[in-house]
């Protein structure tokens, strides 16, 4: 859940940052970035954000009004800083980088936990096959002996 949400936030912030950096108006960039999220909860929340931004509410405030469930407070605070300094595109890239690092760490952790389990399962399967091959040979040996 959390991993997929962070990956969706990476896609959203990276896309929004690129669109804003290349001169697209924020409202249009938000609408386009919403389409690449790939997460139903975030898409619905972003629909409400777009409506609020259309009404003149700043992006950081629009995100904050959605709560911290879809949008972490760190993301909201960093966007607020980007709005106040006028460097929204750079800040969105930094946010995407931070979440991307978290996603990479989570994937590395999951991989390190799953790898021994896979080795155990494969080893057990090989042991079953070896026993299945040698058991008839031992049975024949006891019949002859």
Q: What is the DSSP letter of 71?
A: S
**Confidence (pTM):** 0.77
Q: What pLDDT, in 10s, does the model give residues 68-104?
A: 788 999 999 999 999 999 899 899 999 999 999 999 9
Q: Is 82 left (phi over 0), alpha (psi -120 to 50) or beta?
A: alpha
Question: What does the pLDDT look like over 51-71, one tens digit per residue?
Answer: 999 999 999 999 999 887 889
* CATH code for the domain of 40: 1.20.81.30
How many domains is the chain partitioned into structurally?
1
Does 56 reside within a domain? yes
Give residue 7's domain range: 2-107
> What is the secondary structure of 8-58 as a DSSP string?
HHHHHHHHHHHHHHTT--HHHHHHHHHTT---HHHHHHHHHHHHHHHTT--
For CA atoms 88, 90, 96, 98, give the dihedral sign.
negative
CA–CA distance, 46 with 31 (Å, rounded to integer): 8
């Amino acid at each position: 859940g959390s991993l997929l949400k962070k990956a969706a936030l990476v896609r959203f912030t990276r896309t929004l940052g690129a669109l804003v950096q290349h001169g697209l108006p924020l409202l249009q960039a938000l609408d386009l970035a919403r389409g690449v999220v790939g997460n139903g909860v975030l898409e619905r929340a972003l629909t409400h954000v777009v409506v609020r931004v259309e009404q003149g509410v700043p992006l950081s405030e629009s995100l904050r009004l959605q709560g911290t469930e879809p949008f972490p407070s760190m993301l909201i605070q960093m966007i607020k800083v980007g709005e106040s300094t006028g460097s929204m595109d750079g800040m969105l890239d930094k946010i995407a980088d931070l979440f991307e690092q978290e996603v990479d760490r989570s994937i590395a952790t999951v991989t390190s936990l799953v790898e021994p389990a896979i080795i155990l399962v494969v080893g057990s399967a090989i042991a079953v096959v070896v026993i299945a091959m040698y058991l008839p040979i031992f049975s024949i040996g006891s019949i002859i002996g």
